[in-house]
Amino acid sequence: MEFIGFIVDLLTKMLQALGVEINYETFKTLLDLLNSLYNALPSWLKPVVQAILQPLVNALMSAISG
């Protein structure tokens, strides 16, 4: 779930940078969508996806935050 939080935070910051106001419902919808997609992955694929995307997410979050 920690990984999903990173993705939601990233999407939230990207949308805010584009001028889209993020409220609780939007945030909850993003979280639910990403959580569903992640949970649909086979268990053997989840660590692979995390290993590939985690550095990208961290780099994008660093770039967005400043």
Distances (CA, A) of 58 to 7, 15, 44, 55, 65: 9, 17, 22, 5, 11
User: How many structural domains does the chain have?
Assistant: 1
Q: Return the higher-pLDDT residue of 51 and 64.
A: 51
Indicate the average pLDDT of the chain: 78
pTM, two decimals, is: 0.51
> Rg of the chain over CA atoms, in angstroms?
12
Q: DSSP string of 22-49?
A: P-HHHHHHHHHHHHHHHHHS-TTTHHHH
- Position 14 scores a pLDDT of 81
DSSP state of 21: P
What domain range includes position 7?
2-65
> In this predicted structure, what is the pLDDT of residue 42?
94
Q: What is the mean pLDDT of residues 25-53?
A: 84
- What sign does the CA torsion over 16, 52, 5, 8 have? positive
